[in-house]
Amino acid sequence: MSTSSTSIPSASSASTTPAKICKVVVQQCIKAGLKFDTADAPVSIGKGMVVFICFLHGATPDRIDSIVKAIMTVKLSEPDLPSSETSNSGESSSNNVRRKSVVDCDYDILVVPQATLGGKLKGTGVQYHGLVSKDLGFELFHGFVKALKEFKAGARKGNVECGVYGARQILNMETNGPFTHVFEF
């Protein structure tokens, strides 16, 4: 009787996946708006999506473009349907509606800085040791918003609005279903 042994790869030979440097929550909406505890004017969007974003240790500006491209091209949005394809309640007559990207639909985007996405539960509390520094977070957030606006500039319409990094914000959002996605980059 022969025996075979299975070797376990050593830590040095195991393939490593890149560290997660960003957490994003995307929520489809009919409309949304932010008010601030600062002198900044409120911002709002129409139909589109709200993007909550948090940057983690290891995040660098050179990764922003790939994150923006992923968010702008992922097919999550329900396109506006001609009235012949909707019921009296406004719902799609078919559950097989092809989703489109926010760019394909010319929808708006509201970006909300959300450092709490980087929290880790420890006992009965939450710790935020995995976040980038406030200064780097500010730089990355504004770089992300700038890159979104540049990507969206090629679309026929649709705005990009953003929250105020580091400010307390009051979000008002009307959604068209529990359509929330969490992504890690």
**What pLDDT, in 10s, does the model give residues 17-41?**
778 999 999 999 999 999 998 888 9
Summarised one tens digit per residue, pLDDT across range 123-169 is 999 999 999 999 999 999 999 999 999 999 877 788 999 999 999 99
Is the pTM of the predicted complex or chain greater than 0.85?
Answer: no
Count of CB atoms situated within 10 Å of the CB of 58: 13
- C-alpha span between 54 and 68 (Å, rounded): 13
Residue 4 placed within a domain: no
The CATH number linked to 133 is 3.50.80.10
Domain count, the chain: 1
Could you tell me if residue 107 is inside a domain? yes
Q: Decide if 101 is inside a domain.
A: yes
Cβ(106)–Cβ(79) below 8 Å: no
Residue 26 lies in a domain: yes
Give the residue from 64, 72, 53 showing the smallest Cα distance to 144: 64
* Other CB atoms within 10 A of residue 137 CB: 21
Q: What residue spans of 45-112 are helical by DSSP H?
A: 64-73
Distance CA 128, CA 182 (A): 18
Domain range holding 75? 22-79+97-184
